[in-house]
Structure 1
Amino acid sequence: MTRVEYLLVGYGIAGATLAAELRHRGHQVLVLDTLQPDSASRVAAGLMNPVAGKRFALAWRADELLTAATAFYRAQEEHLKQPFLRELPIIKLFSSIQEQNTMLARSADQPWQDFVPDPTGELPEIAGVQQEMGGLCIQRGGYVLVEELLTALTAEGLREGWLRHETFDWGRLVADPAEGFIYADQVHARHVVSCEGAAAVHNPYFRWLPLTPNQGEVLEVECAGLPAEVVLNKGAYVVPLGNGRLRVGATYRWPPFAEGITPEAREELSQRLQAMISLPFRVTGQRAGVRPAVRDRKPLLGTHPETPGVHIFNGFGSKGVMMAPRLAQVMADWLENDVELWPEVNIRRYFTLYSSLPAAAGPASSASRS
């Protein structure tokens, strides 16, 4: 019987950051993960953008989240001897005069100093970019090579034995009368944490939470001559991957949506790219993943209301790369019973939605949280 303190289910960016944080603190961790080449984390471009949306609002806790994220990915680079983080300016291109006016109206009351030094300044000319309407130059952004990071961490986990490729069945989790839980008669854990992304909609402990799968598609593109030192954003993002390669995304599809890639998404993203650049390009690939989205756009962290040993660290949507490292620290503090969760992400905000499940399909009986 394998004995650990924490059993984590899923190894996207949520599971990876939480596992790293718990292991860094000296805890015994086992991760069970079904390898999915087109999981949301592996498909995503890993964009970190402190100023987002048509309202040009500063992202929630932007400075704190970016600082922690940058430190985490740099630490992983040093640990794994491989580059993952590219810090690049993000050029937010305006689509209309209305967008220009919205930005100007908001610039006076936005704490942008560390991110947009000159919101009213003109953009420098960028070869191949259509920027007639102007835009913003956003600092402290960039992107993470998420797939490469997860591949390297997975190889380490498999080699060292703290990660296994195995499909987790919540129906095989039972409470240990002494303490903690036993999974499949093989693993004993004091705590079990759902980090399984959109699959959590089927989790018997947490299916009452307002988690909604959201499909996103991205294109792999070749385009010679476009500068590789900036990320472009105008209804879609354009991330330079080097050697004339770009990643363009992403679409947002709410249920019901078709599984896998679609010609409609290819056409939509191609048109959005065409609106940003004046250079010819060639689509070389297309991928689709399903994000775990939440109605208030804040992740889901916390402990099951009736089963204290079962927790969730999930619902990061399209901003997981930026949010997960800092929130992994917050979650670890909570699991160690030292610091209360931030109210914005605590699943207590949704406890009114909770109702006990039928015994046949419900969770295991309660166990001690500590």
Structure 2
Amino acid sequence: MKFDYLIIGQGLAGTLLVHALKKRGKSCMVLDNPEQPKASEVAAGVINPVVFRRLTKSWLIDELSPQLLSTYAELEHEFGTRLFYPLQIKKVLGKGENEFWRKKVADDKLQNYLLQEPEPISSPYIEAPFGVGTVIQSGRVDLSQLIESMRQQLQSENSIQFEKVAWNKLTLQENRVIYQDLEAQKVIFCEGHAVSQNPFFKNLQFKHTKGEVLRIKTTTYNENFILNKAMFLMPEGEQYYRLGATYDWNDLSTSPQDHARIELTEKLSTFFTGTYEVVDHQAGIRPTTHDRRPVLGLHPQYPELGIFNGLGSKGTMLGPYFARQFARFLCDEDQTIQPEVNINRYFPERKQSR
């Protein structure tokens, strides 16, 4: 069976790249390892256009924002289901942070993303004596629904197989790759943190992080915004909320840990007084590079192999923009890959070839 591209992995990166390539009339076969946990199925999918630590705009947000809105709208139309939920983020402010918030919004011209004036919060279950700062153009993407909808579509088209790829069974020839009974022009690896074991990408410097999240149910609290104070409390509907997330660079297992649950619930107790029960606890490994930038492009030595990975904790924002950029590159529409994300940053002595 011949295809234009073999896509290895159907998490967020693989899903968005398939969408971008199919828009350009390209055929894709996806090989997805059903035994590999996906960070995308654990992640909350928060879209936050600012970095709270420095109160600055997220990297490239002015370019990312229109692309993510159009991409998720296209996918909602294609799948006939809702994926994107606009939600304001309310940042709980500490003593003295009100004036800092006002000044940063004015000086850095952040009015497109932040309300300049902090405001009180009306919920009796939130302790915020110094008010909250409000983020706009924010929200969440239902990543589980996105991935499942794409999986169902691919199954209906006989364009996905569930298996672990054996790298030593890939046969590379000029302008084509053969894997078992499949043939394609190129193979693109979108395999999340499993890329660390991929022998073709040993030069890449990954620094994966484990993240744990809780799902809670509360019958007292009922607010339709994302609350943030060194963590997030995000509504999912029907009295359910997502609480997260932790960051661990040492334990890269996918098993939830009690200490992470305690860390999250203790942080929540510093500003939240509502009653709740924990109904689920999940862990995932964010695919993250050493410089916290995605990595995409074709292997300089093996141009039949490509990679789209490293979306990290900002994946719902970065993914649509860079999936489109990479698809345009692969389809000869535009040969631009931004230097900050180009695979060539790990192969400085080589020139990108196609």
Q: Place the TM-score, normalised by the shorter chain, in its bin.
A: over 0.9
Instruction: Give the AA of the match of 1:277.
Output: F
Is 1:305 the counterpart of 2:300 in the alignment?
yes
- After superposition, the Cα gap between the structure-2 partners of 1:102 and 1:171, relative to the gap in structure 1 and judged at 3 Å, is farther
Relative distance call for 1:37 and 1:66 in structure 2 (3 A) is farther
**The 10-residue stretch of structure 1 (128-137 or 291-300) with the greater mean CA deviation from structure 2:** 128-137
1:184-226 CA-partner distances (Å, limit 9, x unpaired): 2x11111111111100011111122111221111001011232
Work out the CA distance in 2 between the residues paired with 1:97 and 1:22: 49
Paired residue for 1:120, among 111, 117, 120? Answer: 117
For 2:220 and 2:75, how far apart are their aligned partners in 1?
31
Q: CA RMSD in A?
A: 2.0
The structural deviation recorded for 1:265 is: 0.4
Equivalent residue number for residue 24 of structure 1:
23
5 Å-filtered alignment, 1:95-110, equals 96-97=94-95, 99-100=97-98, 102-110=100-108
Matches within 5 A, 1:93-172: 93-94=92-93, 96-97=94-95, 99-100=97-98, 102-116=100-114, 118-172=115-169
Return the letter of the residue paired with 1:109.
Answer: D
Tell me whether 1:333 sits opposite 2:333 in the alignment.
Answer: no
Q: What CA deviation, in whole Å up to 9, does each residue of 1:13-70 have, x standing for no partner?
A: 1000000110111001111101258410000111100012311111111132122112
TM-score, normalised by the number of residues in structure 1: 0.90
- For structure 2, which runs of at least 5 residues remain unmatched after alignment? none
Contact 1:208 1:353 in 2 (8 A): no
Distance 2:97 2:33 in 1: 43
Q: Deviations for 1:146-181, whole angstroms, at most 9, x for unmatched residues?
A: 11111121011112111111111211111125x311
In 2 relative to 1, CA 258–8 (structure 1 residues): closer, same or farther, beyond 3 Å? Answer: closer
1:249 is displaced (CA, Å) by 0.8
1:266 is aligned, of 236, 261, 269, to: 261
**One-letter amino acid of the structure 2 residue matched with residue 197 of structure 1:** G
Q: What is the alpha-carbon distance in structure 1 between the residues aligned to residue 28 and residue 271 of structure 2? A: 45
Contact 1:228-1:242 at 8 Å conserved across structures: no
Uncovered stretches (5+) of structure 1, i.e. residues with no partner: 355-365
Matched residue, 2:343: 347
Cα gap change, 1:334/1:308 in structure 2, threshold over 3 Å: closer, same or farther? Answer: same
Q: Please state whether the residue corresponding to 1:212 is helix, strand or coil.
A: coil
Alignment of 1:188-267 (within 5 A): 188-267=183-262
Q: Does 1:80 align with 2:76?
A: no
2:172 is matched with: 175
Displacement of 1:295: 2.0
Distance 2:37 2:194 in 1: 13
Using the size of structure 2 for normalisation, the TM-score is: 0.94
The 4+ residue runs of structure 1 with deviation greater than 4 A are 98-102
Aligned residues: percent identity? 32
Does the residue aligned with 1:247 lie in a helix, a strand or coil?
strand
Distance in 1, Cα, partners of 2:162 & 2:72: 24
